[in-house]
Structure 1
Amino acid sequence: MASRQQLLRLTEEAVCSICLDFFTDPVTLNCGHNLCRSCITQSWEMKEINSCPECIEVFPERNLRINRAFATLAEEARKLKLDPKEKESKPHCEKHQEELKLFCETDKKLICVICRDSREHKTHNFLPISEAVEIYKEKLKSSLDSLTEKK
């Protein structure tokens, strides 16, 4: 079964860089980038120049090739009801697909609440991630100050 992170990466491939939504009638430019036909057409009409919005390559002709593979990919992503605008999601546990909410001080890693109750972490100490971040920020700042002073 695919993890949430894998699904989000797959979703990114089915999203137009102009409208930031799933491709509609996707086309491939000569540079290899893919966009919605209407998005690139409108972009070219507004700029009055045929260039790729991603790599800025200029094309003498408007050569748009239909990309059926991306059309299929976008359609499948729509069926999964994935949010194309959800770029950064919270990290999830590989074992349980739960959101990582705790920091295990003993193992020095993020864990979910199900992992916390497992035998593996039974005698360990935990902190909410936000508290752990503050503690480690202070330690890092202290180390940086010390190094700066030595320099």
Structure 2
Amino acid sequence: MAEAQLIVSQDEFTCSVCLDTLTDPVTILCGHNFCLKCLTDCWDQSQVCSCPQCRHTFTTRPELNRNTLLNEVIKKLKKTTLSPPPPQNYAGPGYVECDFCTGKKFRAVKSCLTCPASYCQTHLQPHYEVATLKHHKLVDPDRNLKEKLCGKHQKSLEIFCKTDDSCICMMCVVTEHNGHKMVELETERVEKQVSDV
């Protein structure tokens, strides 16, 4: 009988808290896996017990039991194929670092203008899974996020005030630019490109 081949990536066995291969893995009710120590430390430092990945909140602190099957799979993979993440995943000179990585920082794959923060692939996951984060504006990694925020309100600059010739946030529209001629920032950018040609 032919043997089935299983192809897995290290990301499937990575704790989203420490970003390392799972150690003493535990699975919580929402289905996410973490290192026993990482999850225990996380919950000991917080008054609320919630999943660090999807933010599902538990009314009472769940009892954490080691996932023995997952632990055995990780042990076998470590002996055969599992190796540390390749160095190109770490943020080097010229790359944007993940704002949520601790220790050695991974390279950011997206920046969120709503949060405003930059995320590696692992820390970006909640933006794809959590309903309230799915509507955030994600852009390519940007080391100049602060320049895209209103200095007064810390909101993303989305509007161009033609009257004052300045980029403003939605709060500025309401508080300081009432009655001014305004357009979306992208519309103004396209208009300026066309007029410069």
What TM-score, normalized by structure 2, do the two folds share?
0.38
Higher relative contact order by CA 8 Å / sep ≥ 6: 1 or 2?
1
User: Which structure shows the higher helix fraction?
Assistant: 1
